[in-house]
Structures are given as C-alpha cells and as structure tokens.
Chain A
Amino acid sequence: MSGDILKLDGVGHRFGGFTVLRSVTLSVPERGIIGLIGPNGSGKTTLFNIISGYLPLQTGTIEFRGLPLTTQSVPDRNRSGMVRTFQTPKIFERMSVLENIMVGACKITRTGMIQDLLSLPHARGEMRQIRSLAERVAGEFGLAGDLPASTLPAGQRRILEIARALAGQPKLLMLDEPSAGLNREEMQQLIAAIRRINEAGLAVLLVSHDMELMAVASAVHVLNFGEIIAKGNMAAIQQNANVREVYLGV
C-alpha cells in the first residue's frame, strides 16, 4: 500500500491539435493536502475534469484508492469517494441552503424511487437522516439552512458548494479555485475549513492562484503549459527559479 489516495502517472490530453497536458505525474497522500498552481491556461481545470470524469483519459494512468480510473462516469467516481467543486460555483439556485446540502447527502441513502413514491417508513427515516446530517454540516460552516440559495453572496456560495460536497462523506475533496471572489474574512473561514476537513481525515487536492491559500498545502505542484515544472513545499516553490520566471518574469 503506497499511502496515496490518488495517483496520476503520465497523464496527457489534447484538444484537437493542441496539447494542454503533457505527462503530468502527481499523487495525493491519504489525509494530505496537495496544491496545484499555474497561470491561466496552464491546464489545471482540464486536469481536474479528467480526474473527476468530465473529460476522458487519453494517455497515462489514474489510480484512486488503489483502483484504476478509466471509463467510470462522473457519478461512479463520486460514489467511489471523490468529490469536486467548480471554478464557478454550481449551486442549486431554486433550492434552500439546507436542500442544497441534502442533495449532496443523497448518495449515502439506499431507498429507491418506489419506496419514495409510497413514502415508506424506511424512506422517511433516511430523509430525516440526511436532513439532520445537512443541518449539522450547515452549522459547521455557519450557513443558515432556511435561506434560499439564490440569495447568498459569492463567498457564501463557495462555502455552500464545499459543504454540499462534504455531506456525501467523501475521501478526497477536489477544490477548483475555491478562494476566487472571497473577501478577507471569508478567506480565513475557508482556510480554517480546509484544515478542519483535513484533520477529520479527508485528502484535499486544491487548485488555486492564491498563494495565501496554498500555504495550507503540504506540497504544491506548479503547472505551466501542461507540464509540472516544480513541486515541493510552498517556501521552496516561492524560491524556485522556474516558478519565479513563470509568475514574475524574473
């Protein structure tokens, strides 16, 4: 057992004649926080989409919890224990905050549609169970459950998306630019939340431009034009000549 929950080896991707990822290799240890930074267009979100199943794996291999990921669908990957958020939060606008989180918890239930139709005791019991779970998760993130989700400001939307993702009790949380649009206070809340989530046993793969947020990561990979050009802890990355050239042009 390697101790890595996610392992990417030689992952490449092309859109037509344009290569967006070249032989990316990285791993996320169980209970680890790994950061992925890079300028716009470096391929970070493409990599996220490949891992989570929104784009097909063209070259290389991906292993999650020791099993190869090849053609599994997005829901199947989620059910195997990974969950992601999106660069632009995709919350359920016409539902309440609590209902949003409850949708995230639906996968841990076992009742089928016929039991739901007949409102059998087991179905009602599971509904109560996911409601109570969602209330607990909303409380942990300081979210008011009865608010319509559409009324939340940008920062709270991101927090809601993370809370919703966690309601399904995943093993790996993948956050795509979670700090975009957050104010200072919300940023501190986010950092605290990521640490808390990690301490509870979850591995985190974090994509961000934000160096302050990246400080929570135990190791950071730098992606540029589809290639990993540096990896290490944040202090080492900030001193890396290649990275300084990419980010600062010096």
Chain B
Amino acid sequence: MMRPRFALVLLGFVLWAALPHLLTRHMTDLLVFTAIYTVAGLGVGLLLGQCGIVNLGQAAFYGIGAYSCAYLTVELGYPNVTGFAVGAAVSVLIALVVGWPVLRLTGYFLALATLALSIIASSIFYEWDWLTGGELGIGGIPKLDFFGFKLDTPGRFYYLAWGVAFLSMLLVSNLVSSRTGLMLRGMRDSSEATASLGVDLQWLRTRVFMLSALLGSIAGSLFAHYVSFTSVQSFTVDKSIGFLLIPVLGGVRSLWGVVLGAMFVTILPEMLSQFGDIHQILFGIALVAVVVLLPDGLMGLLRQAAGKLGWSRVSA
C-alpha cells in the first residue's frame, strides 16, 4: 500500500512535469521566471530567515551571472558552461571581498551597505559598456543545449530552471538542518551568546553571503540564456528589492514560501495587467496587504489553512 505522503509527492511530481503541456506558452514562461527568481530569492531568504540579514544587493550578483554568460559566449565564443562557472566564481569572490568588512555591520546599516552594493553594481553595468554593452545590452546569447537537445522554448527551459530551483532548495534545506543551520539560528537569536560558544560570526556570515551570491549568479546566468539578451534595466536596485520581497512575501523561514513569493512577484502582476493602467497600484495594494496581514507570509496562510482542515503539517 502506497503511503499518503509518497503518493502526494508523486502526484506533485506528475503535475509539475505535465504543467508545460497543460499551460499556455505565456504561463509556462512565467513559471520559468518563477523558478529563476526562486533560485535568487533562496539566497536572500537564507540570509534573512536564518541570519536576520537584509540583503538588498542580490541584483548585483544576478547581473554578474548574466553578463558573464553574455560576454563569454557572445563576445569571446566560449562554451555556455564557462559563463556559469566564471559568473559564480566572480560573484563568490566579490561576496567574500565585500562581505568580510561589510558584514561587521548590523541592522539598517548593513541593509544600506548591501543597497550601496546594488547601486554601485548597477552603475558599473551601465558605465562599462565595453563589457556589458551599456544601455544597448548584449543580444544573441545562445540557448542552452544538452547533447544537442536545445532548450529554446519555455516548455523545454522549464525543466532545467525548476531542476536548478529544486536542487538549490535541497541544498539550502540540507544546510538549514545541519550544524551550520544551528549556528545561523543561534546567531539570529543572540549573536553575543553564539560568539561566546566559539562560533566565528564574521566568517559564518561571510560564507552564507557567498552562498547567497552564488545562487544569485546562477539565477542571472539562467536568465541570460533564457531570454538571450541582457541589459542594465534587468539589474537595477528595483530588482534587488524584488528579490528581497520574495522571501518576505512567501515566509522567510520556509523554502516553499520562497516559491510562493516568487510566484507572487512574477504571476500576480501578469494577472493584474488585465486591469490596465491601475495594475501596478493593485499590485502595490496586494503587496502591502500580504506584508500587513500575513506576518508569516503566504506560507503562514497555507499552514493556517492546513491546520483548519486538520492536516498534520505543511512541510517547511
């Protein structure tokens, strides 16, 4: 007899696999963006939910990942994988160099410092047009392919994007339930006490920031290969705020909350666009409503609903 939990997971998998065949191309496209934003949002959520660090700099790493792929494949003709690797390495290195001094700050000062990182990166993306193409951007980024199978439609890219998102969720879940996760939560609750127990807070924060940057970079690389075009408008401070909203809206301490948050910022605006000019106002109202009415985010709402229905728990 099949266990209910396994049956539920199997059903979810079948539904996930079938979605591109059931949905319109446009909806599948939105789900691809949901997956990409989930990867970037996971990094921000890890910092926020486990360390209490507000990161407003994720667009910088998202941009580095995207431009690495764009420059290396289009301008220099390197294979696709090189862009992912170089973007990841550069992002992790910058996170180390910037994070080491900056992560000594706390609270608003740290949030402002990460915001400054995003502003500086945005300016560099604009000014270094020899590398980024400036306002014109870089087009013609090749589609990813696996052994000749080209991921050139939303339906095909969907599986890769969600595969990366699920893998990232699994890795973050491993981290949160490990001894590193324990130290992170200790640091969030009382940094003074955690330090007194032999935990090097500075190095711990920096490593998590590096991991967050890595996820941001991978998301940016996926984005570049999916849309085949990068421009400065995609990596502004607005994007960093959007990435921060993802875990805040979904629920900062829940991996699935990040997915819900990513859906909120990608799918809801599209649904509201049918209302014409006021759609952005409506999105703003929805955003404020979630933040004010749902302190535990959308995942908290789901948990409440599950509790009322008598289900044992909704997995974090």
Contact = CB atoms under 8 A, between A and B. Distances in A.
Contact of B174 (A79, A100, A117, A168): A117
Contacts, number: 101
B189 A74 contact: no
Nearest to B170: A119
Contacts of B183: 103, 106
B189 A107 contact: no
Given A104-B197, A117-B171, A109 B179 contact: yes
A53 to B, nearest CB: 9
Contacts of B24: none
Nearest to B208: A113
Contacts of B192: 54, 86, 90
A123 B178 contact: yes
B179 A130 contact: yes
A102 B193 contact: no
Interface in B183-221: 183, 185-186, 188-190, 192-201, 207, 211
A168 B171 CA distance: 27
Contact of B182 (A83, A84, A102, A168): A102
A78 B193 contact: no
A123 B186 contact: no
B180 interface: yes
B175 interface: yes
Chain B interface mostly helix, strand, loop or mixed? helix
A52 B197 CA distance: 11
Count chain B CB atoms within 10 A of each CB in A84, A90, A103, A117 and give the residue with the most. A103
Interface string A90-106: 11111100011011101
Contacts of B188: 94
A186 interface: no
A57 interface: no
A238 to B, nearest CB: 32
Interface in A151-208: 161, 164-165, 168
